């Protein structure tokens, strides 16, 4: 849970900084041609998809938080899965906080995005946490083959050395 809390805090702090420091009308080059700071308020999901479904996206994020906190967190017994779960909690809670507290109002709030790379969506630190969580989950399931409990899982889905009945 400490990864989730620290990740949320970093996301919140960077968004506060972006809102106080960046002008939506102009991009600030950090690495010219590679990374810019460009403030936008995104009502949709990645790549601004679903801009008219902000309430639905908010409800999905709430459902994801409930699933993570009620089902996943109590079952995690492996360090890699704990990291992935913490990163996912940080990312989902960071963007959910925006949807619940930012303008134009609760369940309609726009997510603060400010990191821009060429030919890609403008994103934020919460999105980075979600991406790292996804990469970690892929690594754990496909490469190491370990489940939430830390057991090595065979291709059929059961822990190695155990047969399904």
Q: What global pTM score does this model have?
A: 0.91
The confidence band for 1, taking pLDDT boundaries of 50, 70 and 90, is low
| 98 is a catalytic site residue | no
Q: Contact 115/84 with Cβ under 8 angstroms?
A: no
pLDDT at position 164 = 53
Q: Give me the catalytic one of 11, 23, 98, 127.
A: 127
Q: What is the pLDDT of residues 61-119, one digit of tens each?
A: 999 999 999 999 999 999 999 999 999 999 999 999 999 999 999 999 999 999 999 99
The predicted-structure confidence for 109-162, as pLDDT tens digits, reads as follows 999 999 999 999 999 999 999 999 999 999 999 999 999 999 999 876 667 666
**How far is the C-alpha of 89 from the C-alpha of 84, rounded, in Å?**
9
Chain mean pLDDT for the chain: 93
From 11, 23, 98, 113, active-site residue:
113
- The kind and range of the H/E element at 113 are strand 111-116
Structure tokens at 8: 């949320």
> Domain coordinates of the chain in residue numbers?
2-19+30-144
What pLDDT digit, counting tens, does each position of 17-35 carry?
A: 999 999 999 999 999 999 9
Examine the residue annotation and report whether 23 is marked as an active-site residue of this protein: no
The token pair at 164 is 């399904």
**Distances in whole angstroms, Cα of residue 159 to Cα of each of 80, 144, 156, 163:** 17, 13, 9, 8
- Arithmetic mean of pLDDT, 1-23: 96
Q: How far apart are the C-alpha atoms of 163 and 165, rounded to whole Å?
A: 6
């Amino acid at each position: 849970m400490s990864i989730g809390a620290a990740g949320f805090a970093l996301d919140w702090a960077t968004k506060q900084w972006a809102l106080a420091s960046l002008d939506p009308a102009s991009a600030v080059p950090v690495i010219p041609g590679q990374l810019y700071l460009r403030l936008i308020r995104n009502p949709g999901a990645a790549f601004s998809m679903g801009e008219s479904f902000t309430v639905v996206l908010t409800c999905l994020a709430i459902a994801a938080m409930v699933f993570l906190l009620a089902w996943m967190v109590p079952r995690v017994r492996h360090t890699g899965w704990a990291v992935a779960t913490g990163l996912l909690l940080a990312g989902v809670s960071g963007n959910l906080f925006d949807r619940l507290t930012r303008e134009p109002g609760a369940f309609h709030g726009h997510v603060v995005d400010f990191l821009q790379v060429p030919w890609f969506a403008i994103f934020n630190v919460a999105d980075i946490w979600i991406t790292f969580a996804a990469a970690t989950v892929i690594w754990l399931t496909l490469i190491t083959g370990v489940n939430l409990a830390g057991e090595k899982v065979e291709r059929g889905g059961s822990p190695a050395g155990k047969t399904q009945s």
